[in-house]
A and B are shown apart, each in its own frame.
Chain A
Amino acid sequence: MKKSYIVKRILYSVFIFFVVLTLNFFIPRIGVDDPAERYYPPQGNMSDAEYEIIKELTREQYGFDVSTPRQYLNYLSDLFLEGNMGTSFRSGSPAVTDLIIDRLPWTLVLSVSTLLLGLIVGILIGVVAAMKRGRWQDTMLLNASTIMVALPAFFIALVFSFFLGFEAELFPAYTNPDMVSDFSWSLDSLRMVAYNAALPVISMAFGSIIGYAQGTRNAVIAVTGEDFILTARSKGLKPNAIRYKHTLRNAMLPIVTSLGMSISGLIGGQVVIEQIFNWHGMGTLFLEANNTNDYPLMMGIMLLLSAFTIVAILVTDLIYVLLDPRVTVGEKR
């Protein structure tokens, strides 16, 4: 029963991926008459015949010289056989895959540390607030959440960048480009990454911590009111056994859901935050692609984002099966 559920979920995810892949391929092609003109706008000192030749060459280079269905098949075979997501319109015609591989780790540095910080600190704060319900610890969390709703991460980032970066000079307000160009797996290099990542991570972690704390607090309080907690107490179990084996285990369910949602955001990068700190990540890459009408690059990033989201949702669902034995029953009925 469990196995069939897992297989079903995986097949479903693959199907969704193909739908996304197809839409991702065709949507940019709607309304664009000649991609070669996009890539190579007509120049004043060029005769029509010369321009035709240049366009012809461009089409050939980017594979636009065949019919759209044919292009689709080529795209599929390139993607699955060679992992080739196309060629960027940038000068030097770099492969989209290479561009993404260059940026992805840097975005993950930011997003994974933000997520871990938010998850660990947030859950701890949430559990404490739930235990001290109505006391000052709880009230403080409530006030903090209210303030955080009104304070977007980019605002915090600007404030930090200005006061901690420019004024106090505690951390770099602006990423040092050497961090990327001189990177090696040495202690010094890693320390430099941590030093440069400090401000962006802290600015994003605020919202993340408060979000998980509030979620955990509410889930724990909801579970504490459940009948089975009273049963556990009537069995004479020690408070810690009740808290960890009964309350938290059940309170984790909604947190896993929101965790799955945030995992899908891990590689998208925080476009604005990365921009503020000039971080060498996916967010800035996407912005560059957008500003230069670099369709192959945008398609590549979108595809990767979708794939990651689909995988994140799949993993969340599968973790749910492990955590909540009731999930498979819904499938059976």
Chain B
Amino acid sequence: MNREQTNENMLAVRNLKVVFPMAHGVIRAVEGVDLDIKKGESVALVGESGCGKSVTSKSLMKLLDTPPALMRVDDITLDGESLKDYSEKKMQDIRGRHMSMIFQDAMTSLNPVMTCGRQIDEMYMRHQGMDKKEARKHTIRALELVGVPEPKSRARNFPHELSGGMRQRVLLAMAFACMPKLIIADEPTTALDVTIQAQVLDVLRDMQRTHGVSLLLITHDLSVVSNIAETVYVMYSGKIVEKAPMKELFRTPYHPYSEGLLKSVPKLSDEGKQFVQIPGSVPHPMKKPSGCYFHPRCPYATEECRQSMPPLEKRGEDRLVRCFHPLKHDAKEAKTA
């Protein structure tokens, strides 16, 4: 996390588009997304279900099945290396080695008929050419690092023999096995209950910081974001609508959608008040509205918003917002805690 290092980008994505041609039309899942993740930085990509977060994360590793999906990107660079034209074969050497992924549901993301240890061994055997014995030694160390007690015997357990939290730690150990440059965590704690969530997040954050791994965290959970992320991208219906440093976003959201998301997090001090939610739901990806995709749900929408899509514009240092009427925050007016 040295200052001079953070100026360089670990991951830079330019104009990522993913569409799914269907019988009745085209689903535009991701529409021209730009992402920048600095070295050692942790970035969150936030949005409701169906806004294209997971598709974005999978397409970064080129894991989308490309008969149904079509992916276009101006450029993806990982640590200065352009992955845009990499073949599937070359991507196989990148995946796991330089870029790895943590999935949401550890129960279904681990092979049920293979021991947990064996599934981590595979990483070392594949990418570092180790034999079984040597790989197992590293696996046990990796499990130890993510706080699995008795890693030696846990490694011999099958996924169903471990608790949810332990399984998620196994996924963490797997993702960190080869100390990649970037880890993409797709809703890593959604399937866990709250206390376990906190533990697993702590492990993830500690591992990420001590080893200087860049992190892209995909989530819809703003408490997770506030826990771990330095920069936040807010995504809505396939487009980035706001980018801001985490603290600034929480204090002064510019986009009405970001404001809505923040307001809809219940707080203890809200007792007795009605639960705030954004009216309506994410538009169907085949029937996106005209103009700004958010205008049907937006309390501030004007005729201009109905007519045309606002551009993603710079507003203040390190902040971007896609809105004709970004929220104004007077010194004391900010409502967020």
Contact = CB atoms under 8 A, between A and B. Distances in A.
A227 B105 contact: yes
A250 B92 CA distance: 22
Contact of B108 (A227, A246, A324): A227
A236 interface: yes
B61 A228 contact: no
A232 B95 contact: no
B96 interface: yes
A199 B133 CA distance: 51
B127 interface: yes
Contacts of A235: 95-96, 100, 122-123, 126, 174
Contacts of B110: 228, 231
Most buried by A among B94, B95, B111: B111
Q: How many interface residues does chain A have, given as a range? A: 20 to 34
A249 B113 CA distance: 8
Contacts of A234: 61, 63, 95-96, 100-101, 103
Given A234-B61, A236-B92, A326 B114 contact: no
B160 interface: yes
B93 interface: yes
A236 B97 contact: yes
Interface in B145-188: 158, 160-161, 171, 174
Contacts of A249: 111, 113-114
Contacts of A245: 114, 122
B326 interface: no
Given A233-B95, A326-B160, A226 B101 contact: no
Contacts of A227: 103, 105, 108-109
A238 interface: yes
A222 interface: no
Given A227-B103, A227-B105, A235-B123, A250 B95 contact: no
Given A227-B108, A228-B112, A326-B112, A236 B103 contact: no
A73 interface: no
Interface residues of B, number: 31
A324 B100 contact: no
A233 B58 CA distance: 11
Contacts of A241: 122, 126
Contacts of A323: 113
A53 interface: no
Contacts of A228: 108-112
A170 to B, nearest CB: 44
A83 interface: no
Contact of A329 (B58, B94, B160): B160
Given A226-B108, A326-B158, A329-B160, A236 B95 contact: yes
Contact of A230 (B109, B160, B174): B109
Contact of B92 (A226, A238, A325): A238
A237 interface: yes
A322 to B, nearest CB: 10
Contacts of A230: 58, 63, 103, 109
Nearest to A324: B113
Interface of B: 58, 61, 63, 91-97, 100-101, 103, 105, 108-114, 119, 122-123, 126-127, 158, 160-161, 171, 174
Lowest 8 A-B CB distances belong to which pairs? A236-B96, A236-B95, A227-B108, A234-B101, A235-B96, A325-B158, A228-B111, A227-B109
Interface of A: 226-228, 230-238, 241, 245-246, 249-250, 253, 323-326, 329
